[in-house]
Structure 1
Amino acid sequence: MLGLAQRFNIVSHSFRTTWLSFSLGIGFHHLWCAFQKTDGLGKTSQDPQALQPPKAQDYRGLCKDQKPLIILILGAPGVGKGTQSAYLASTFGLTHLSYGDLMRQLSDDRASVVSTLPLKEGSKSPSVPDDLGALLVWKEIEQGMRNDNKMAWLVDGFPRNHRQVTKWMEQAASVQPVIYLFAPMSVSASRISGRASGSGRPEDGDQDVTLDRLLRHRKESEPMLAKLEDQGFQVKRVNSDRGLAEVQEELHTLVKGIASEYVRACMFKDVEQRIEMIAQQSSHRTLSDTRTG
């Protein structure tokens, strides 16, 4: 039989554990409610300074062993990936990584292997093998996390085909949410032609090259999307053949849900880890008291 003092210690430890678990839950509830009132992890929408973009490092340290938030945004040339990516990145504090821009940047860097690759015909973009492209994207994300605590990413224009999906899975080893923007080929072609004067891409002004790019995307996109879904990626298709504000409103709701789920998963994981640690410590103390009583 346990003595009165021993039983009191057990009850006391149990009560403290329950109360601390309850307090952690209440604290998480308040944090979650506060997040729901924001456009990301930045300022509340009622704040007059709310339009100032939050910083990507706001996502760091949400829980132990945190994996990065990576959203893939795909679509044919001219569907608005760059425009919408810039909007989403500034709104939700995401680091915008454009696959095309990254490859062109590495092509100009003599220290990079990409600079040794031939350029695509009529283009400033290098012809990058699928496995190398996937490796370079992951290396860029790893470096950003390690050096600058960048934990939330919006990767624009990657993967390009079903082969890169396989290579990407070998690097990232996890699935991510995917947004696929689509529009009729005529709309994409018109947008590409309209941006030709200011894009700095010679291929945008060549109608034959544009048609070839669009046809190649059409041929590769469905096998790529099928591969993504087969691997467990959640693909959300968004019609970009609408007004800019209408498309942005849908994307805003979609990405807010993704970011919210990421934060909630991290916070729940952290709370569960803390409760488990406290319970283990309480159990060890109770066992020790019982043995010495």
Structure 2
Amino acid sequence: MFRTVFQRAAAVKSAPRSSFKQAIPITRRHFTSDKPSSNGTPSIPAMLAVASMGFAAYYTLVKSREGQALPRRQQQKPDQQAKPTEIAQAQETTTIPAFTTDQVTVVFVLGGPGAGKGTQCDRLKKDYDFVHLSAGDLLREEQNREGSKYGELIKHYIKEGLIVPMEVTIALLEQAMRESMEKDHKYRFLIDGFPRKMDQALKFEEAVVPSKMVLYFECPEQVMLERLLKRGENSGRSDDNIESIKKRFRVFKETSFPVIEAFEKENKVKTVSCVKPVDEVYQEVRVVFDKMFEK
């Protein structure tokens, strides 16, 4: 086929312009068994069919280059006719979570920046054998890790007070969970500062494991602002400045708080006020966890 194409191309190049039609006789091919239309234009269904075949070929090529197994078509027995509903269900892809709720216990710890999530988590991990995973800390460690392909991306998002793409955060959380399970044989996790958007919550519970509960630390913005500015004097964190703090407040209000509202509809949220002294706040937190584990 390719030799024929090259021969015709050579004929076109050598032939005078006036003899193009004579040099290359063109036979029109139609995509259907119907009679050709007057203008020779293929029908819309035919063009759609060709486009579909082209997309399928491209998809197969990409998957083969990525080293992935190519999809196989299951042969159906002649006497078995699939119903439309069965076809639709077969086309849907079901993601199996990495862990089950029988294996691990995950508690999302949410609250505005400076609400005191980290302080309370430090106490919970000692008294209830939890592993404290701070999404923010994992991202900061990753951005400083030598050779990280996400480093610059994470640095930009954190500095601007924006939300890092969920695929990165979820991958880091799952990796940290696996390491704790394999090395320390710990299966209870406090995930601090995550999820920050509803799509993050849905993706995590779909791909990793459904959460057991959401612990929400409620705190006025003015109190959180004072705490963060004081922490910024010694923390060395690039986001502990007035400009970044205000951006983080706005992001939490616009994108993170709706997550809490959504989980409240499922009766999974336990709210604790953080205005009181640390010890008093922790006593309220203990009541919540004692009830969850029926101590």
Distance in 2 between the 1:97 and 1:131 partners?
A: 16
Structure with the higher helix share, 1 or 2: 1
CA distance 1:208–1:115, shift in 2 (3 Å): closer
Distance in 2 between the 1:200 and 1:168 partners?
A: 30
Report if aligned partners of 2:161, 2:247 keep a CA contact under 8 Å in 1.
no
| Cα-to-partner distance string for 1:93-135 (whole Å, 9 max, x where unaligned) | 2111111111111112234432252523673989631122123
Q: TM-score, normalised by structure 2?
A: 0.60
Give how far 1:76 is off: 0.5
Structure 2 counterpart of 1:222, from 238, 257, 260: 257
Structure 2 unaligned segments of length 5 or more: list them.
1-99
CA distance 1:233–1:111, shift in 2 (3 Å): farther
Q: Secondary structure at the match of 1:203?
A: coil
Identity across the alignment (%) = 28
Q: Secondary structure at the match of 2:107?
A: strand
Distance in 2 between the 1:121 and 1:164 partners?
A: 16
Distance in 1 between the 2:175 and 2:207 partners?
A: 9
CA distance 1:65–1:100, shift in 2 (3 Å): closer
Tell me whether 1:212 sits opposite 2:254 in the alignment.
no
CA distance 1:156–1:233, shift in 2 (3 Å): farther
CA distance 1:173–1:127, shift in 2 (3 Å): closer
Q: TM-score, normalised by structure 1?
A: 0.61
Residues paired across the two proteins, number: 196
Structure 2 residue identity aligned to 1:151: Y
1:13 — aligned with what?
none
Report if aligned partners of 1:94, 1:154 keep a CA contact under 8 Å in 2.
yes
Give how far 1:217 is off: 0.7
Q: After superposition, where does 1:59-208 map in structure 2 within 5 Å?
A: 66-120=102-156, 123=159, 128-204=164-240, 206-208=241-243
Distance in 2 between the 1:162 and 1:194 partners?
A: 31
Cα RMSD (Å) of the superposition?
A: 2.5
2:270 — aligned with what?
236
Tell me whether 1:254 sits opposite 2:288 in the alignment.
yes
Distance in 1 between the 2:137 and 2:101 partners?
A: 30
Structure 1 unaligned segments of length 5 or more: list them.
1-63, 262-293
| Cα-to-partner distance string for 1:68-103 (whole Å, 9 max, x where unaligned) | 122211100010011111111122221111111111
